[in-house]
Structure 1
Amino acid sequence: MSSTLAEQVDKYREQKIERLDAVLRNLPGGDNLVWDGLAAADLPLRYALAHHMFEAVSQLAQRGDAQALQAYLVLRSDQTPLKPIATTAGPVLLAHPERNAMTDDRAIAEAPVAVVSPAVCATADDKDRALVTDALETAVRSGFGATVSRNSRVIVLIAERRPTDTTIRSWTTNALPATVHLDYFAEHFYVSRDLIHEAAHTELNDLFATFDLAFPGDAKFYAPWLETKRPVFGFLHGTWAFSHVALYCQWLSTAEAPIEVRALAGAMHIKYAEHMHASRKHFDEAIKLVSVPELAEVITQCRDLVLDSHSTQ
């Protein structure tokens, strides 16, 4: 992404933080606390934490828990209780809540996301921290440093999986940007892949929001990775995120990694590259609906790198 686009996204994020802060300042004691600590120096962390804070404070206000609300507002000035970890991609908040909280359908219906707090962040142990630190370091080494450093600040581990499992969950939401909930693997190379994938979603969400883009609701395009037609928003998100995954897997297939990791990476690179080839005509139509030329060019360039990385002939 160009520096011009990055600067525009940063401006959008600063404005979004200010809007959230304006609400918090109206709360008792809210006007006495300013951003300080790591969050003051790191915009992506401040951006992520501002949304978590807004979500948490909203819940506490509904319950009428004024004491807990006041304690939570202090995290604006001091993030030490959240146990941030230093990584090559920047400071990260990590949580590993009880498995049922993120896998039980009833629990997810009541609370589909984990909002950070000292108690929630205390659920991560040293093994979790080492896994995420190694995964982010690999993401940076693979060439996706800007992607994860700008868009990965809160990581919530769900359940350990095997690479061959058919159901692997990971998600981001507009309500909690720069936050990812994901199943994870003992092998950090696979965690890198999924962090890059979800960081790409946060990035594109903010790019679309920065330019206030809207797409026609009746336009749909075939997405081979889901074997179904998708609206413009979802189709472009899939193209963008899976292009990132394909390029990471291409790198991983020849990296210094266990042979089984390289083999699976090579297969995934081919799989997603073939998906990009199969969706070329649909992409050419969908990208015309992105009314910001520089953004359309960035999305196209990323997809084209994948096309060039694997020939279907």
Structure 2
Amino acid sequence: MTELSTLTAPIDAEVARWRADQLPRIHRVLDSSAGGTAATANAPGSLAVEFAIDHHRLQGAEDAARSRDASSLGWYRSHDAASFGNLRLPEPWQGHILPHIDPASLENSPIADAPYYLLGQESRPAESELQHLALAALSAAAREGFGPLIDQHAAIICLLRERVIGQTMASWSITRLPGTVYTDHAGDPYILGRDLVHEAAHNWLNSALTLRRISLDDQTWFYSPWKELKRPAFGYLHACWAFPLTMIYASEVLRHLDGPVADFLATYLDKQTALLAHTDTDHERAVAMVSDASLQNVLRTVYVKARAL
């Protein structure tokens, strides 16, 4: 979707300014001696990845303080974003971190409904096979116009379980860790690209709602065909934003794909088209609850494009 970055440009600029303003405050909270900004300032996506890393540091420090682990607390306070340079992907995707993850080691915490992984002193780079997969997925998404979205909102990519094409694959993001994506994969870059788009979209919308100070009425619920139940406006709008973007992505990559992956994505697109049709009645009513005209326009434009596929 080549026009996506143009559509979201005003909000994207606000996100960048807000992150630049927040980083020094985060550094002061952590009392980091280095701060990190100078070490990463010249790398593409440096602000996004530093912002994502520093939220891992914040959460790690909070967890350590809660458990009275002075050693871990000291480590998170003294190691800035530059300390994770060995986890970065090579150019031109060095604005992304790809750590090795054992899915069995994911943590559960009151901060999130889903398990999560935190960068820390034991973090090491993912295996070369997964690095190549991530690089190919990032390239695939960028070719279809989703590069800026993923660069800014999927800076830390956590690849979990490998699945066979057709098996259920889970992916999620966590509000407390903006810019981090957790996802299973099928060993295919085009399918992984779809899931990076999906989770980056959730992170983008969280940022947009926060920056525009939009509070959605949690007493108004809408039927979600994806969950087959009613959801509050927040969750409903998230689904009606993220799934359409994956539909647009799938329709674009299908122009030059064939074989089993093409069949899988075509089936996915057909299924999502049918599900999205069930939102026709409520979508505009939900978008009207967003008290910002420019954000309404973004949500509406993507939705209409997906419905036209």
Fold-level match, TM-score > 0.5? yes
Q: Match for 2:119: what amino acid?
A: V
Contact 1:161 1:183 in 2 (8 A): yes
Given the superposition, is the C-alpha separation of residues 81 and 254 from structure 1 closer, same or farther in structure 2, using an over 3 Å criterion? Answer: closer
Instruction: Give the corresponding residue for 1:112.
Output: 115
CA distance in 1, matches of 2:293, 2:67: 47
3-state SS of 1:155 partner: strand
1:54 maps to 58
Q: 1:24 maps to which residue? A: 30
Shift of 1:229: 1.4
Give unmatched runs, 5+ long, in structure 2: 1-6
8 A contact 2:36–2:82 mirrored in 1: no
- Shift in Å at residue 273 of structure 1? 2.2
Question: After superposition, where does 1:95-244 map in structure 2 within 5 Å?
Answer: 95-102=99-106, 108=108, 112-122=115-125, 124-166=126-168, 168-244=169-245
Partner-residue secondary structure (3-state), 2:131:
helix
**Greater relative CO, 1 or 2 (CA 8 Å, sep 6+):** 2
Q: Is the 8 A contact 1:90 1:149 kept in 2?
A: no
Counterpart residue identity of residue 247, structure 1: I
CA distance in 2, matches of 1:217, 1:135: 36
Change (3 A) 1:225 1:176: same
Q: Distance in 2 between matches of 1:70 and 1:99?
A: 26
Sequence identity, in percent? 25
Q: Could you tell me how far 1:158 is from its partner in structure 2?
A: 1.4
Aligned partner of 2:80 in structure 1 is 76
Greater Cα shift, 197-206 or 187-196: 187-196
* C-alpha separation in 2, matches of 1:152 and 1:164: 24
What root-mean-square deviation, in Å, do the aligned CA atoms of Structure 1 and Structure 2 show? 2.2
1:246 paired with 2:252, answer no
Q: CA deviation at 1:208?
A: 0.4
For residues 141-173 of structure 1, give each alpha carbon's deviation from its aligned partner in whole angstroms, at most 9, with x where no partner exists: 12211111111111112111122113x211101
Residue 136 of structure 1 deviates from its aligned partner by: 0.7
In the TM superposition, residue 67 of structure 1 has moved relative to its aligned partner by 4.4
Does the residue aligned with 2:146 lie in a helix, a strand or coil?
helix
In structure 1, C-alpha distance between the alignment counterparts of 2:95 and 2:285, rounded to whole Å: 39
Deviates more, 1:113-122 or 1:87-96: 87-96
CA–CA separation in structure 2 for the residues paired with 1:138 and 1:246: 15
**Cα distance per residue 1:208-237 (max 9 Å; x no partner):** 000111111211111212222111100110
Q: Which amino acid aligns with 2:131?
A: R
Is the 1:153–1:179 contact (alpha carbons within 8 Å) kept by the matching residues of 2? yes
Q: After superposition, what is the alpha-carbon deviation per residue over 1:71-121, rounded to whole angstroms, capped at 9, x for unaligned?
A: 43443262355421135455211123223223xxxx535992111124223
Match of 1:280 in 2: 280
Distance 2:29 2:84 in 1: 24
Q: Which runs of 5+ in 1 are unaligned?
A: none
Structure number with higher helix proportion: 1
